[in-house]
Structure 1
Amino acid sequence: MSLTQSPGPLSGSPGPGNYAIDGPRHRLMLTPLPRRVRGDLGGRTVIDTDRAALVHETGLRPQLYVPLDAIDPALLQRTEHTTHCPFKGDASYRSIRAGERVAENALWVYDDPLPAASWLHGLAGVYLERLDRWRDEEEDVLGFPDPYHRVDVRRTARHVQVRARGEVVADSRAALLLSETALPNRYYLPRADVTATLQGPTGRTTFCPYKGEASYATLVLGDGSELADAAWCYEAPYPESAAVAGHVSFWGDDVEVIVDGAAVAS
């Protein structure tokens, strides 16, 4: 994300600097992922490689590619589905079958990539969500982190207040500021500093390759009205974000985060 989204150097709108990168405005770059990557389907490991890579593309998040020869060809079925990318070429698709489980069009392959992306030959892009399980070495993951992306968590003594529809629902001078590449700062507040009722967790979860899995809660206001999924927390974050465990952050159209008297992006 740091390379391909603003203000990264491979984004469509790079930040100011004293250099220029030669080449097209839409850029591609491959970064090896030097760890063992495994994908399971129907209880069977169908992808197992230490030669995976991340492809960075202007305006997009990094995409996992794996060597096509890391997959048993007996499990693959070429389909009629095709797509075209003006920067990479024509893609053909493969479904993966493992027993009774079929991951339709889970892989795409540039059989004859454009010269500017010739290094994609022999690689297959993967729709991660179409397989049942992914492992990064021995860790279960839902995605793979970008080596150019960073997350920092810092204690802050700033006065952080959260309002929902004008009502103060949290007030803290012991918040944590989570600063993440290419994203607005997020403030995580101790649960003890949340004055409104939080109901949950709800059924919603999201996954971040740098923080882990977030669970959500409904915010109940003093008049009994509710804002669904307006608060989230990481109960068991990854080690690099461990400090935010049990803290709560807020977001939504009716939610306002005030820091030292000034509204900030929520």
Structure 2
Amino acid sequence: MSENPNLLAEQRRALIVDEVRRRGGVRVNELTRKLGVSDMTVRRDLDALARQGVLEKVHGGAVPVAEASTHEPGFEAKSSLELTAKEDIARTAATLAAPGTAIALSGGTTTYALAQRLLDVPDLTIVTNSVRVADVFHTAQGGPGSRPGTATVVLTGGVRTPSDSLVGPVADQAIASLHFDVLFLGVHGISLEAGLSTPNLAEAETNRRLVHSARRVVVVADHTKWGTVGLSSFASLDEVDTLVTDAGLPVEARAEVSEQVRLIVAGEPESGADI
């Protein structure tokens, strides 16, 4: 079988994970037909994804990993998932950042993608507890072809989590003394009952402080976060102003979300009144 040259490894693996989650399991021969690659390529992809802990290999295929509410994937494990959705969300969310404003970015791979889209927005003040997000602006301002004055960046201190966020009392105290116009917030899980949640107790408290210090809260989350519940809730949906997500969010979920927050689906015309 000839390999499909149009799919990079990370794109293939993101599609595999999405298929496993959506269907509850897939077989190797189904993936070879769908992706247009060899049996050996699919098996290598499954091996890599199993090592990352995002799926479980079984005889002839793969099934989802049953995650505990305390399970917290690392940044690298999450960065290869839902790449297209995250880029679409980032592109759309960046339009909500006005020049000259103070904005906060929480940790996460979606906010990391968003940070790269914010480099062209002038005169921003960025408050973040994400080492990765801070590095985006630092690299843009200090490397070859740098963009001087892209943003003023305030990085909170704190204890580093597996997702490369800084949390704990030091971060909480720094955030409590600040005020920003918009918070762009990545989440581990979102649901009607639990609201926004994370498996990390310290991160929950830091996110709570971020929400309380923001005039507007914009959640950036792909469709796989819907229905996921972490150990600790840190905000209810009525504390969220806007949810920016991707086209994979089911129709039923869209209806439920739209009753409480402004819903923006990347790549689709917005419907309903702003909140």
**TM superposition score category, shorter chain reference:** under 0.3
TM-score (normalizing by structure 1): 0.26
TM-score (normalizing by structure 2): 0.25
Q: Which has the higher strand share?
A: 1
Asked which structure has the greater RCO (Cα within 8 Å, sep 6+), the reply is 2
Q: Indicate the structure (1 or 2) with the bigger Cα radius of gyration.
A: 1
